[in-house]
Structure 1
């Protein structure tokens, strides 16, 4: 089980991926990105490699990866499942 929340991305070549670990983030960084020279992309690559080597917190590295995904507009919207609707229904009376 992953310690990170799942994010869905769509790379430039149309490949969709779900990423929830440092290993998956590393694989995603090898795909086609709009701008591999952008600072957030380079930071993500550096920090993911550093986390794999034990020199960086995995949470910081994953946050850098997510920032690069957002910066390059690769984040796919999350579809709400039925559980979200059920939770909303169950808690609507608790909202003030």
Structure 2
């Protein structure tokens, strides 16, 4: 099981991959990005390398990776989970909205 919720990255060349671990993030950073000189990309690269080396918390490195991907418009929007879709369907059938 992966440590992080999966992110789908769509690279600048149209390729894509699912990233759900530091190893995946390291591989994705070697893909085709819009700007590999951007400060957030460089920070993510450094932090992911540090996480692999054990000198940075993986959660910090993964957050930096996600931020860099988002700033370059590479994150593919996530679909709602099947469980949330089922819950929404149940609420709509009862004629009620979500509790609130």
TM-score for both structures, normalised by structure 1: 0.91
Deviation of 1:3 after TM superposition, in Å, equals 1.4
Match runs of 1:43-82 below 5 Å = 43-82=43-82
State the alpha-carbon separation in 1 of the partners of residues 98 and 81 from structure 2. 21
Q: Where does structure 1 lack aligned partners over 5 or more consecutive residues?
A: none
Quote the offset at 1:81 in angstroms: 4.9
Secondary structure of 2:77's counterpart equals: coil
Aligned residue pairs total 96
Which is higher, the Rg of structure 1 or of structure 2? 2
Tell me which stretches of 4 or more aligned residues in structure 1 moved more than 4 Å.
90-94
Per the alignment, residue 95 of structure 1 pairs with 99
Aligned equivalent of 2:31: 31
Given the two structures, how large is their TM-score scaled by the length of structure 2?
0.87
Q: Any unmatched runs of 5+ in structure 2?
A: none
Distance in 2 between the 1:6 and 1:87 partners? Answer: 21
Deviation at 1:46, TM superposition (A): 0.1
Q: What CA RMSD, in Å, does the superposition of the two structures yield over aligned residues?
A: 1.6
